[in-house]
Structure 1
Amino acid sequence: MSSSYNFEHQKDTGGLIQIIFIRAPKKNHDALAKIGKQTDDFFRKHGVSKFVYRLNARENMMDFVNVSKIISANDDEDVNLEILSYRDAKHVEEVMKAMEGDKRANELYKEAMELITPGSIVFGDFSKLEKIS
């Protein structure tokens, strides 16, 4: 996939994305999925696109190290990836402020934190690159 392809298709996404990796015991998969569906409404209401994926393969490929090894996932854990797409950094602040004031959002956060592997959340905020040349 060429970089020009990536730039052309970023027009449909926000200027800032948050990437979140979460490890959780496989036995908690259904409970976390239920919470995730409930949080979808909150994010959609506040203009955030949310995508959730579960890691399939855990083997390294050629010179590439599988993310499950970087975040020290055990065989009895799922590795989930969440991608949240925001307009910009100000939008992130607005959504976080709205979340702080939302009783149900706080309840869901606490429920989720009880189901994930403690200390396993890895995240980063990424800004869209401007097309070069």
Structure 2
Amino acid sequence: MSNSDNFEHQKDTSGLIQIVFIRAPKKNHDALVNIGKQTDDFFRKHGVSKYAYRLTARENMMDFVNVSKTISASDDEDVNLEILSYRDAKHVEEVMKAMEGDKRANELYKEAMELITPGSIVFGDFSRLNEIS
């Protein structure tokens, strides 16, 4: 199932976000930041808000398990979080189609995949809970 297929199955079309966790060797941090800045340009051009964060603490808190343990991050790996915000499912389809046809976007994807820990990307597509928003 493609990324855009995931979004097509969302019931709520009043805003969709994608959450992505990525593990990568700490030595690759600067190279990934550089790629991230370039992909920001692509997403901004297509009306997507993109936020990137780096995990700062790895300790559990009370009954909460730290995400670094859930995704099995080692001490020599960074854990990064990206949040991508789309208007609706149609917007996601448009962006994915644009990405498929963009040579530079594909090159950046390949470069990033060489820098991250293989098999480490964990993601989810989320729609707004109108009941509590």
Q: Please give the range of the TM-score, normalised by the shorter of the 2 chains.
A: 0.7 to 0.9
One-letter identity of the residue aligned with 1:63: D
Is the alpha carbon distance of 1:129 and 1:106 closer, same or farther for their aligned partners in structure 2, counting shifts above 3 Å? same
- Runs of 5+ consecutive residues of structure 2 not aligned to the other structure: 1-13
Q: Distance in 2 between matches of 1:96 and 1:44?
A: 13
Q: Distance in 1 between matches of 2:90 and 2:124?
A: 16
One-letter identity of the residue aligned with 1:94: E
Which position in structure 2 is the counterpart of 1:118?
118
Deviation of the 1:74 alpha carbon: 0.3
Q: Distance in 2 between matches of 1:89 and 1:73?
A: 32
Which position in structure 2 is the counterpart of 1:87?
87
Q: Distance in 2 between matches of 1:119 and 1:97?
A: 24
Deviation of the 1:131 alpha carbon: 4.3
- The Cα offsets for residues 22-65 of structure 1, whole Å up to 9 and x where unpaired, read as 00000000000000000001000000000000000000000000
SS in 1 for 2:38: helix
Deviation of the 1:132 alpha carbon: 4.6
Q: Distance in 2 between matches of 1:112 and 1:31?
A: 8
Q: Distance in 2 between matches of 1:65 and 1:87?
A: 31
- After TM superposition, the structure 1 = structure 2 runs for residues 95-114 of structure 1, keeping only pairs within 5 Å, are 95-114=95-114
- The Cα offsets for residues 44-100 of structure 1, whole Å up to 9 and x where unpaired, read as 000000000000000000000000000000000000000000001111111011000
One-letter identity of the residue aligned with 2:129: L
- Runs of 5+ consecutive residues of structure 1 not aligned to the other structure: 1-13
- The Cα offsets for residues 79-133 of structure 1, whole Å up to 9 and x where unpaired, read as 0000000001111111011000000000000000000000000000000111459
Deviating above 3 A after TM superposition, structure 1's stretches of 4 or more consecutive aligned residues are none
SS in 1 for 2:119: coil
Is the alpha carbon distance of 1:29 and 1:132 closer, same or farther for their aligned partners in structure 2, counting shifts above 3 Å? closer
SS in 2 for 1:32: helix
Residue range with higher mean Cα deviation, 89-98 or 43-52: 89-98
Matched, 1:33 2:36: no
Which position in structure 2 is the counterpart of 1:18?
18
One-letter identity of the residue aligned with 1:88: D
